Amino acid sequence: MLALSRHYAKQFLLGIFCLLLNACNSDLPPTSGDTTAPSNTVEPGGKISTTLTKPTTSLRQHLAAASSQALTAAEQLANKVQEFSDAPQLESLQQALNSWEHAHMNYLLAKSLIVQTLRHPILDQAQIEPTVIHPITVRLDQFPMINGYLDAVQGYPKSGLMHSEATLSLESLNTEHQFSDPSYVALGFHALKFMLIGDDRLKDYIASSVNSTNDTSNTDINSNTDSEHKKTVLRRKHYLKLLTEQIVADIGLINQEWQSEEGYYHQHFSAFTPQDNKRYLTLLEKEHAQRIADIAAGGSSTAVHLNADTIAANTKLLNKLNASQP
């Protein structure tokens, strides 16, 4: 009789436990997207403690979203630059410059979410021989730069690649980029901005006999023309197209590593636990604090990237990431 009572008591307690467990589970919203799995830890005495957390958008999804936004902004930049090239006017030039600011900011934000110690095995590699390979951040955002390496500057009206006989192609620009000096910048955001900015920049893209839609092919640009100015205009327009193509392609490569299940960043962050997320966010905050310290220290090379708008946007993004985590 005593054994039977104990049996029913055990069954009763088991039933109560199941009801409580079901009640806990009923508080959870329907699962969708990435969820945080139960975290099992062994307590002193060998007991297993299971902590259930509500499904949430993963840290990886937030970081991947920033990468997607950077790609979208880069594509918009390419469109605005092409519109300016097709019909050079002050309005289209200003729109291209505004789009540059937007795209560059979005790229910097996405870049800031990858801690400096996290190196991509392919995109971050560098090589000189037999083929020149630049780390993707160097292709996209190298600065400072020597403006005269690309085009005319004050006192040197025939300076740079725009006035040379060198063929303009993505392959040749990859070789020219940082050729013999880190400041010899031929690719990326800052090369593009230099080619767009300046009080007299508009006239550099206007030639009375130039039809930009038909005359910006590589064949026309590298052939002899009846006007030296026309040839330079053609080279500048073709160079703009190459620059934006490479920017979009490079940011596209980064984004693919976030979006594809086989991507390095996708796989790396998909393995994160909630504790890993917190540790990673702490690292991001430390790097952000260092950027603020860099602004206080000054320096012409840091001022281009680390201005008040960049810091404010970065702070807002980090606050959003912290708020998103359980």
In a domain, 4, yes or no: no
Reading the block at residue 31, the tokens are 């699962």
316 and 212 within one domain: no
279 and 241 within one domain: no
Give dist(CA 325, CA 242) in Å, integer. 40
What is residue 304's predicted lDDT score, i.e. its pLDDT? 67
What is residue 296's predicted lDDT score, i.e. its pLDDT? 80
* CA 246 to each of CA 65, 109, 188, 218, 232: distance values in angstroms, whole numbers, following the listed order: 21, 19, 8, 16, 21
- Are 188 and 140 spatial neighbours (Cβ–Cβ below 8 Å)? yes
Instruction: Give strand pairing partners of 156.
Output: 153
Give dist(CA 102, CA 313) in Å, integer. 12
Reading the block at residue 184, the tokens are 């010899």
Helical spans, DSSP H, in the chain: 2-26, 59-86, 90-112, 136-141, 170-176, 189-196, 212-215, 218-221, 228-259, 264-270, 274-297, 300-303, 308-324
186 and 121 within one domain: yes
ω before 144 within 30° of 0 (cis)?
yes
Q: What is the pTM of this model?
A: 0.78
pLDDT tens for the 326 residues of the chain, in order: 434 344 444 443 344 334 333 333 333 223 234 433 333 333 333 333 333 333 346 899 999 999 999 999 999 999 999 999 999 999 999 999 999 999 999 999 999 999 999 999 999 999 988 888 999 999 999 999 999 999 999 999 999 999 999 999 999 999 999 998 999 999 999 999 999 997 678 889 987 544 444 444 444 444 444 588 899 999 999 999 999 999 999 999 999 999 999 999 999 999 999 999 999 999 999 999 988 888 788 755 565 677 788 889 999 999 999 998 87
In a domain, 164, yes or no: yes
184 and 88 within one domain: yes
In a domain, 15, yes or no: no
Count of structural domains within the chain: 2
301 and 159 within one domain: no
In a domain, 291, yes or no: yes
Please, which residues have CB within 8 angstroms of residue 121's CB and are 6 or more apart in sequence? Answer: 264
Q: How is residue 209 annotated by DSSP? A: T
Please, which residues have CB within 8 angstroms of residue 1's CB and are 6 or more apart in sequence? Answer: none
Please, which residues have CB within 8 angstroms of residue 321's CB and are 6 or more apart in sequence? Answer: 59, 62, 113, 281, 284
160 and 219 within one domain: yes
Among candidate residues 250, 254, 143, 235, the one with its CA nearest the CA of residue 195: 235
114 and 254 within one domain: yes
What is residue 8's predicted lDDT score, i.e. its pLDDT? 41
What is residue 314's predicted lDDT score, i.e. its pLDDT? 92
Reading the block at residue 142, the tokens are 């190298």
99 and 177 within one domain: yes
- Are 192 and 264 spatial neighbours (Cβ–Cβ below 8 Å)? no
In a domain, 23, yes or no: no
Q: How many CB atoms are closer than 10 A to CB 278?
A: 14
Range of the domain at 307: 272-324
